[in-house]
């Protein structure tokens, strides 16, 4: 294949994705106590649900969504999850067909991706690039970290947030959320975890998570301890919130968390990932390394309350 044929194949893929998906990508306008805001969204169900970024609709109950065919619909916020920076809208009327979900877990570095959205108010914009890296972490405004974030060099600008990151098959694999620099955009992945979040937002309007009340950082275990517990890293507790489940159970600053319910904890984000809805109110065994010995304590996570 010569360079011209390769360019034609690349162009054909981007054109096909743009023509297929753009009708289902909306420009979002909101008004709240903070003022006016704008972003992007994509249709994800036949029930007129749209997926966007939580920070696009922060503080707003209502929005307007405008499509490439010129139609403008009022919409309301069904649910918003600042901890994953995802939100679901429902339009007050029929919308174009939904965009199928892909699986970001199957992406590979170097793979073609296409970003569609409303950057700088320019509706129906399309940019293309590659997956630059996988497994990035993205701090959210709610103080938590989104894992497995996709890094791309497809151009993103303010207003792109909430828009589509599509793979070459035209599937939604990410929600564009941040511009980290020239040629460096980030997208919240569509994977098993975020699909559960989206389903919860659509059906219940909120996401329930468990909370222990500890903060910490990943540390490298000593060779002796690593050999004993079967992991090279753990989470060292930096602080324990007074009155929290961890405090009630006797967790101490300086403890190194090894496992919870026999599941290895190799980092703070690893522990965060285990604090899911079914852990709320359930007694769990937390194993920590303290003063040269493994200590088992019983914790009962509570529901995390997001301001």
Active site residues: 55, 85, 161
Structure tokens at 247: 């405090």
Cα–Cα–Cα angle for 152, 80, 106, rounded to 5 degrees: 35
Please choose, from the candidates 23, 157, 138, 163, the residue with its C-alpha nearest in 3D space to the C-alpha of residue 84.
Answer: 138
The residue assigned the tokens 């101490």 is 252
**Rounded alpha-carbon distances, angstroms, from residue 280 to 193, 214, 221:** 17, 15, 29
Please state, in angstroms and rounded to a whole number, the distance separating the CA atoms of residues 264 and 51.
33
Structure tokens at 208: 């329930």
Question: How many C-alpha atoms does 118 have within 13 Å on its Cβ side?
Answer: 25
Please choose, from the candidates 76, 110, 108, 78, the residue with its C-alpha nearest in 3D space to the C-alpha of residue 91.
Answer: 76
The residue assigned the tokens 């999850």 is 81
DSSP string covering 22-49: GGGEEEEEEEETTEEEEEEEEE-STT-E
Q: Do residues 188 and 148 make contact, with C-beta atoms less than 8 angstroms apart?
A: no
Please choose, from the candidates 27, 18, 13, 303, the residue with its C-alpha nearest in 3D space to the C-alpha of residue 159.
Answer: 27
Structure tokens at 237: 């507790």
- How many Å separate Cα 211 from the centre of its chain? 18
Who contacts 122 (Cβ-Cβ below 8 Å, separation ≥6)?
Answer: 159
């Amino acid at each position: 294949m010569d360079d011209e044929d390769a360019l034609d194949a690349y162009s054909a893929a981007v054109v096909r994705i743009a023509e297929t998906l753009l009708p289902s990508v909306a420009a979002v306008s909101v008004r709240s106590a903070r003022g006016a805001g704008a972003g992007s969204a994509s249709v994800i169900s036949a029930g007129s649900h749209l997926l966007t970024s939580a920070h696009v609709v922060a503080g707003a109950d209502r929005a307007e969504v405008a499509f490439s065919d010129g139609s403008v619909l009022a919409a309301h916020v069904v649910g918003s999850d600042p901890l994953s920076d995802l939100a679901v809208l429902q339009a007050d009327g029929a919308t174009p067909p939904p965009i199928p979900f892909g699986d970001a877990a199957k992406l590979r570095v170097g793979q073609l991706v296409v970003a569609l959205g409303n950057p700088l108010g320019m509706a129906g914009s399309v940019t293309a690039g590659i997956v630059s890296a996988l497994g990035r972490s993205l701090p959210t405004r709610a103080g938590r970290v989104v894992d497995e974030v996709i890094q791309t060099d497809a151009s993103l600008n303010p207003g792109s947030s909430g828009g589509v990151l599509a793979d070459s098959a035209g599937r939604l694999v990410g929600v564009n959320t941040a511009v980290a620099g020239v040629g460096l955009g980030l997208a919240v992945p569509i994977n098993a975890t975020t699909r559960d979040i989206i389903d919860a937002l659509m059906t219940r309007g909120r996401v329930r998570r468990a909370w222990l009340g500890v903060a910490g950082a990943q540390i490298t275990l000593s060779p002796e301890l690593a050999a004993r517990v079967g992991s090279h890293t753990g989470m060292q507790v930096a602080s324990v919130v007074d009155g929290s489940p961890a405090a009630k159970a006797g967790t101490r600053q300086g403890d190194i968390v090894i496992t919870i319910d026999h599941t290895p904890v190799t980092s703070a984000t690893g522990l965060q990932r285990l604090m899911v809805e079914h852990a709320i109110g359930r007694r769990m065994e937390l194993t920590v390394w303290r003063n040269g010995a493994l200590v088992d304590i019983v914790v009962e996570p509570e529901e995390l309350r997001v301001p």
